[in-house]
Amino acid sequence: MSRPGTTGGVTIQARHQARVAAALQGGGLVEVIALAGVYLAAARAGLSLAAEGSHISAVWLPSGVALGGLLLWGVSRWPAVLLGAWTVALALDVSPLVGLGVAAGATLEAVLGALLLRRVACSRELHRVRDVVWLGGGAALCALLGSGLGSLSLVLGGLVPHAQWAASAWLWWMSNLLGMVLVTPPLLLLFGSWRARWNWTWETWVLPATMVAVCVGVFAFPQPGSGQAHALTFLLFPLSAWAALRCGPRGAALSSLFIALAAIAGTARGLGPFYTVDLLPRGLVVLQLFIGITSLTGLLLAAARAERREAVEMLELLATTVRAVHEGVLICEVREPGVLNTVFVNEALCALVGRRREELVGTAPGALLASPDVSEPRQLEDALREERSLRAEVVLQRPDGTRVWSEMQLSPVRANGEAVTHFVATHRDVTATKELQARLVAAERVAAVGTLAAGVGHEINNPLAYLALNLEAAQRSLAAEGAGAPAGVRDALGSVRGAQEGAERIRLIVRDLRVFSREESPEHGLVDLNALVPPAVRVVLHALRPRARLVESFGKVPRVLGSEARLGQVLLNLLVNAMQAIPEGDPGRHEVRVRTRTDATGHACVEVEDTGGGIPPDVLPRIFDPFFTTKGNEEGTGLGLAICHQIIRAHGGELRVHSVPGQGATFTLLLPPATVRSAGPSPVMASSSRQAARGAEAEEAGLPASSCGRRGRVLIVDDEPRLAQSMRLLLEPFHDVVIVTDGEAALARVGQGESFDVVLCDLQMPGMDGIAVYRRLVAQAPALVSRLVFISGGASSPEGRVFVETVANRVLEKPVRPDVLLATVEATLAGGGPPEVAARGAVGGARRG
C-alpha cells in the first residue's frame, strides 16, 4: 500500500520540476523560504492549541498561511507549502511516505484554492460579498481534497483505524476550512493592501479592549457546559458585528481571528463553555461551528458594508456629476401606470425653468410643458405608455409666463431588469437656435414675398402700361367731341375717366410693392419718413376700413440715414398691429392715428396710435421678446415686433410703447437725424431718396398734356406688342412712330441709315436687352445715345440695377403715365427736360442717373 503513495509523490515532484526551478530563481527562493518558515511557525502555534493528548486542533492555521501566501506571492511558491507540510508531518513521528501524502494533500489544497480564487477574480480587499462567498466556498471545496488525502494517508499508514476514517476526515476538513477562513483574510488585508492606513478613532481603542474583556470572561474560567457561559458567548457576536461595520474587512478578520484563538486556547486547556470530557469529536465540532459562524458573519457584514459604501459613494458621485452638468436633468418615478412623480432635478433644470428644486420635486413632470403643439404631449404619452425612448423638442413654461424651447431626450430605466421604474429626461436649451431658425425662415419668407412681389409687379406693369395709354387715347378722343357731344359719349368719357382712376390706383399699389421688395434695401441713404408713411398706409387701408378710420398728421421731420425698405417694413408692421388690436364692426368708434413730428431732442418721430383694448401690464415688458405673442397661431409667430425693434436699434434709434388697458396703445419710433458727411450717402439710396422726395411734387405739379414743339421721328423698341402699339397710338398724333419688337431689329434699322430723333427702348427683353442695345449704339451711333430713353418694369438682376443707377439716360418706370411719356419725348427732342421729369424715377416718371 506504500508503493502507490511513493510513486504518486515522485510523479508530483517530476511534473512540477520546472516550476520549482523557476520559483528558486532570484527573489523567489527568499519568498519560498520565508513562506515555509511562516508555515512551520503557524503549525507550531496550531499544535500548541490542540486538545490535550491529541494532535487535532480546532483550526489548522497553516492551511490559511499556505493559501494566503500563494495568493500574495503566486502559485509558483507551492514548494514552500510542500516543504513545510512534510516537515510538520515528519515532526509528528510519521513515516516519510505518510508525511509525503499529508504534505501533498496540503499543497494541492492550497494550489487549487489559489487558482480558483484567481480564476473568479476574488479581490484581496474582500470588499464584496461575492469575494467572501468565493473564499468560503473555495476553501470548503479544496479542504475536501487536503483532508481526504491526509486522512487517507494516515489510514494507509496504520495511524488511524479504518472505522474512524470518516470522523477523522470530518475534523480535518473543518480545521483546514476554518484555518483558511480565519488566517487567509488577515494576510490578504494586511499584506495585500499594506498602504492602507488605519483610521484611528476612539472605537479602535474601545473595541479591542471590550473584546479582550469579554473573551477573558468567557474563555478564561473553568465552566464547562455552563449555560451562563454559553449565554456570555453571544456577547461576542455584536462585538464582531461592531468591528465589521465600523472597521471594515480588516477589523472583521482580525476580530474573528482573535476570538477564535481565545476560544481554542481556552477549550484546549479545559476552560470555557465548549470544553467537554468527550471533547473529540462532539465538543470540538461545536467549537468549530462557533468559530466558523462568527468569522463568516463578520466578513459578510464587512463586505456588505463596503459594497454599500461604494454604492453610496458612486451614487454621490453620479448625483454630483448630474448636478454639475450644463444640461437639465429630471428623474421621475413610475408610481403606477401613467402616473409619474419627480424625484430629482439638477441645478441646470431649475435655472432653465426658473423654479426652485423644492417646487419641482414631488410634482408631475408634465406640468412643466407648455407646448402649443398638441402632437408633442401625445408623443410623450405614447412613449411613456410604451416604455420607450423619445427625442423631441418641447416648450417649457416659466413662472413669469416666458417659454423656453428644449430638446428633450427621454429614457426609461429598468432598475430590476424587467419593469420600468423610472424615466430620465435631459433638457438642452435650444431657444437661441430656434430664434435663429425662425429668423432665417422669416428672412426667407420675406425674400420670397419680395421676389414674388417684384415679379408680380413686373408682370402687371406691361398690361397696366398699355391699359393706361389706351385709356388716355380714348379719353382724348372722347374729350375732342366737346361739350356738345351726345349723352352717350359723355357717359363713355366718364367711364373712361373712372377706369383711369382705377388704373392709377393699381399703379400706386404696384409701386408700393416694389418699394417693400427692393433688393438693394441694405444700402443706406437719406430717407424722408413723410414719404414712407403713405405707401404703408395704402397697403393696410382696405383691411383697416371695417375696423377703424385712419387719421394722418404730418409734421416737419428731419431726414434720417437708413434703409428705406427696412423702415417701411417697420411702419407697415406697426400699422398691421394697430389694425389687429381693433375688432371689426364699429369703424366709427375706433381710429388709427399716424403722426410725424420732430421731438424735443431733434429726432425724427413717427407715432402709431390705436384705440384698441391696450396691452396688459404683465405683457408690456415682454412685448419685444422674440416668440412672445398674445395672438393665435394663425395671426402671428411673435417675431414681428422683435424684428422691428432690432431694425430700429440697428438704425441707432429707439422703439417705445405706451399702453393703458382699455384705452389702446401708442408705438413711438425715434430716429436720429442724418448728419452731413463729406463722403455722402451711397449713390443707389441717394438716388432713391431723391426720387421719393421729388416724386410727389412732380405728380402734383403736373406735366404737359401734349407736344407743342416740332414733329419728330420716334423708334419704339419693346417685346410687348400691345404696349408698343399703345405708345404708338398716343404719340402718332404728334410724331412719326416706328415699332420693333427686339433689339437686333432696332440696331438693323439704325445700321441701314434710318435716322431717329428719340428711341424708346425697353430695358428687359429676351435676347438682346436694353443694356446691350445701349452698348452697341455707343460703338455704332454715338450721336443717338443721348436721345435714348429706357422704359423699365423694374431691374431684376444686379447688373440691371447698377446700370439703371449709373446710366446718364432717362429711365421711365412702367406703367408710364401718358402725360409723362409725352413730356419725356418732348424734352428729349428739345435736348433737356424739366427737373421734375428727371427726378421722378420709381414713382412712374422719368429720371436721370
Q: Which three cell numbers stand for residue 773?
A: 442695345
CA angle 625–626–628, rounded 5-degree value:
70
pLDDT recorded at residue 609:
93
- In this structure, the number of other CB atoms found within 10 A of the CB of residue 166 comes to 10
How confident is the model at residue 16, as a pLDDT? 44
- In the predicted model, is pLDDT for residue 614 greater than 90? no
d(CA 518, CA 317): 60
DSSP 283: I
In whole angstroms, give the CA distance from residue 653 to residue 369: 37
CA–CA separation, 546 and 585 (whole Å): 6
| pLDDT tens per residue, range 95-124 | 888 888 888 989 999 999 999 999 998 888
Q: Report whether pLDDT(687) > 50.
A: no
| CATH number, span 438-498+705-849 | 3.40.50.2300
More confident residue, 47 or 610: 610
Residue 23 has pLDDT above 60, yes or no: no
pLDDT tier at 196 (50, 70, 90 boundaries)?
A: low
Cell of 91: 515532526
Q: Best-predicted range by mean pLDDT among 226-235, 306-315, 333-342, 664-673?
A: 664-673
Asked if residue 374 has pLDDT above 60, the reply is no
Q: What percent of the chain has pLDDT over 90?
A: 13
Considering the domain 325-429 in this protein, what is its CATH number? 3.30.450.20
What is the bridge-based pairing of β-strands 339-345 and 811-813?
unpaired
Span 718-745, average pLDDT: 88
Work out the average pLDDT over 126-149: 89
Residue 671 Rama label (left phi>0; alpha psi -120 to 50; beta): beta
Average pLDDT over residues 142-152: 86
What mean pLDDT is predicted for residues 771-795? 88
At residue 67's C-alpha, the angle toward residues 79 and 93, to 5°, is 60
What is the per-residue pLDDT for 477?
74
pLDDT at residue 639 is higher than 70 = no
- Residue 695 pLDDT greater than 60, yes or no: no
Length of the chain: 849
Q: Report whether pLDDT(45) > 50.
A: yes
Question: What is the model's pLDDT at position 692?
Answer: 38
796-805: pLDDT as tens digits = 677 887 888 8
Helix segments in 732-817, DSSP class H: 743-751, 770-780, 782-785, 798-806
pLDDT in tens, 319-358: 777 777 788 898 898 887 778 889 888 888 898 888 998 8
Q: Which of 251-255, 381-385, 702-706 has the highest mean pLDDT?
A: 251-255
Least confident of 340-354, 381-395, 727-741: 381-395
What CA–CA distance (Å, rounded) separates 263 from 215?
8
Helices 721-731, 818-830: inter-axial angle, 10-degree rounding:
70
What CA–CA distance (Å, rounded) separates 123 from 127?
A: 7
CATH classification for the domain delimited by 524-681, as one of 3.30.70.870, 3.40.47.10, 3.30.1490.190, 3.30.565.10: 3.30.565.10
To the nearest 10 degrees (0 to 180), the angle between helices 431-479 and 487-516 is 160
> According to the model, what pLDDT value does residue 420 have?
86
Residue 581 has pLDDT above 60, yes or no: yes
Q: Tens of pLDDT along 246-295?
A: 888 888 888 888 988 888 888 777 787 777 655 555 667 778 888 888 88
Q: Which fold has domain 1-196?
A: Arp2/3 complex 21 kDa subunit ARPC3 (1.10.1760)
How many Cβ atoms are within 10 Å of 550's Cβ, its own excluded? 18
- For the stretch 407-444, pLDDT in tens is 889 888 887 667 888 889 988 888 888 777 776 766 66
Q: Higher pLDDT residue, 618 or 151?
A: 151
Q: What is the mean pLDDT of residues 747-751?
A: 91
* pLDDT computed for residue 746 by the predictor: 92
The Cα–Cα gap between 644 and 671 comes to 13
Strand order across the 339-345 sheet? 339-345, 328-336, 422-429, 403-413, 390-397
Rounded CA separation 403/397 (Å): 5
**Contact indicator for 476, 502 with CB cutoff of 8 Å:** no
Contact 839, 698 (CB under 8 A): yes
Residue 192's pLDDT is what? 62
Measured CA to CA in angstroms, residue 32 lies from 12, 114, 124, 146, 357 at distances of 18, 16, 20, 20, 62
Least confident window among 158-162, 505-509, 681-685: 681-685
Residue 603 DSSP class: -
Tell me, rounded to whole angstroms, the distance of Cα 233 from its chain centroid: 63
Handedness of CA 615, 621, 623, 627 (dihedral sign): negative
Residue carrying C-alpha cell 415679379: 455
d(CA 175, CA 151): 13
End-to-end CA distance of the chain: 129
Percentage, residues of the chain above pLDDT 70: 77
**Residue 845 reports pLDDT greater than 70:** no
Query: Is residue 688 predicted with pLDDT exceeding 50?
Result: no
Helices assigned H by DSSP within 58-201: 61-73, 78-91, 96-119, 129-156, 165-191
Asked if the model's pLDDT at residue 21 lies above 90, the reply is no
- Distance, CA of 81 to CA of 33 (rounded, Å): 10
Give the tens place of pLDDT for each residue, 443-495. 666 566 666 666 666 667 767 777 777 777 777 777 766 656 676 676 677 77
**730, 758 Cβ separation under 8 angstroms:** no
Average pLDDT of the chain is 78
pLDDT recorded at residue 394: 86
Residue 699 has pLDDT above 80, yes or no: no
Please check the confidence at residue 698 and state whether its pLDDT lies above 60.
Answer: no
Q: Which of 77-81, 620-624, 756-760 has the lowest mean pLDDT?
A: 620-624
pLDDT computed for residue 511 by the predictor: 65
The pLDDT, as a whole number, for residue 707 is 44
* Nearest partner of 622 among 638, 608, 609, judged by Cα: 638
How far is 662 from 675, CA to CA, in rounded Å? 41
Question: Structure pTM?
Answer: 0.48
Q: Is the peptide bond before 621 cis (omega within 30 degrees of 0)?
A: no
Q: Each residue of 165-186: pLDDT tens digit?
A: 787 888 888 888 888 998 999 9
414-416-418-422 Cα dihedral, nearest 10 degrees: -30
Can you give 305-366 as a three-state secondary structure string? HHHHHHHHHHHHHHHHHHHHCCCEEEEEEEEECCEEEEEEECHHHHHHHCCCHHHHCCCCHH
pLDDT at site 309: 87
The whole-number average pLDDT for the span 288-313 is: 87
The predicted pLDDT at position 773 comes to 92
Q: What is the pLDDT of residue 814?
A: 80
For the chain, give every domain's residue range.
1-196, 197-319, 325-429, 438-498+705-849, 524-681
